[in-house]
Homo-oligomer: A and B are copies of this chain.
Amino acid sequence: MEISKIITNIKKERPEINSVFFVGCGASKADLYPAKYFLEVNSKKLRTSLYTANEFFYATPISVNEKSIVITCSLGGSTPETVQASKKAMELGAKVIAVTHKADSPLTYNAHFVIVHGFEKNYAAKLEKMTNVLGLAAEILNQYEGYENYDALWDGIGKIYGLIENSVATVVPSAKAFAEKYKDDSIIYVMSSGATYEVAYAFSICLLMEMQWINSGTFHDGEFFHGPFEITEKGVPFILLMNDGKTREMDSRTLTFLNRFDAKTTIIDAKDFGLSSFVDSSVIDYFNPMLITAVLRVYAEQLALQRNHPLTKRRYMWKLEY
């Protein structure tokens, strides 16, 4: 069902909603962050929270009830923690929307509505998950409270996939340079701010730690100056994801500091890809994560090639029970 219809249907049955919960694990949790961030900044009344699925399951908020919408997300639709959380949300009376690449997966049987998104086709398809969830959030906000930049947001959704494909086509040389420069590093830090904060997180825990077995740490770049920056020295490896939008000032301050002390710094900057020519300034914050995630994918692929370590190689996942 299309996004707007899902919310129209929910509203017909539940004219009042208090809260919107986002629930997932790992990269699928991080992909929910831009939508959660969007609601956090723009909604006047709706509560919103983002949970790793087991935390939601074991310490379920008492506000999960018939006045809640719960959006659960798993690429393959079979992450046991997320399926279990989705089931619990239904039992508590919430309206549950599952977002997955896999139709007829266990997650889809534990939800009232299902959105199936692409993945394999191209880089843009890999961002359908994150973008659809942002669309859901905008739809919920608009139908339940009204949202003045609703048209601008959907206009942005209509344009972001094209921008992604154009952008990734240009970045192989810089991704190769990155891969050569970072291939032997024993730790890489990743930072960002705003709606892109958990893109940094996902790159750190999934692309670097999970798929490359490289040590990594990640934090909000607004937090950098309140602890982590003391490890900055010449040559310490960082990746900084720079937003075009309200939080750019924080990203820039961090870049200045890294350059001042000659850290090994790679930036992925939404401005370099002309995001503002495609997306209206009123909603630009929420599209940085899609663009930057796609570009980072190319960087990860080049790193994998340089290191002769395929992104699909695992020690534990898919191999044993845990």
Contacts and interface: CB of A to CB of B under 8 A. Distances in A.
Interface string A48-92: 110011110011111100000000000000010100000000000
B322 A285 contact: no
A63 B46 CA distance: 10
Interface stretch (A103-111, A156-164, A186-194): A186-194
Contact of A209 (B53, B55, B230, B233): B230
A231 B76 CA distance: 23
B26 A194 contact: no
Contact of A230 (B81, B217, B315): B315
Interface string A94-107: 00000000000000
A196 to B, nearest CB: 11
A112 interface: no
Interface string A199-227: 00000111001110111111110110111
Interface stretch (A119-127, A129-137, A245-253, A265-273): A245-253
A174 interface: no
B316 A229 contact: yes
B322 A225 contact: yes
A1 interface: no
Given A25-B222, A52-B220, A223-B29, A247 B59 contact: yes
Interface size class of A (residues with CB under 8 A): 35 or more
A46 B48 CA distance: 11
B225 A205 contact: no
A59 B48 CA distance: 16
A205 to B, nearest CB: 4
A227 B31 CA distance: 14
A269 B190 CA distance: 30
B25 A226 contact: yes
A27 B225 CA distance: 11
A50 B256 CA distance: 26
A42 interface: yes
Contacts of A49: 40
A219 B205 contact: yes
A301 to B, nearest CB: 17
Interface in A295-318: 314-317
Contact of A257 (B186, B230, B322): B322
Contact of A44 (B46, B63, B215): B63
A29 B228 CA distance: 14
Given A52-B223, A233-B315, A257-B322, 6 more contacts: A43-B62, A45-B47, A59-B194, A206-B226, A209-B230, A210-B229
11 contacts: A41-B59, A45-B63, A47-B47, A54-B249, A55-B194, A58-B250, A186-B186, A204-B217, A206-B226, A213-B230, A233-B315
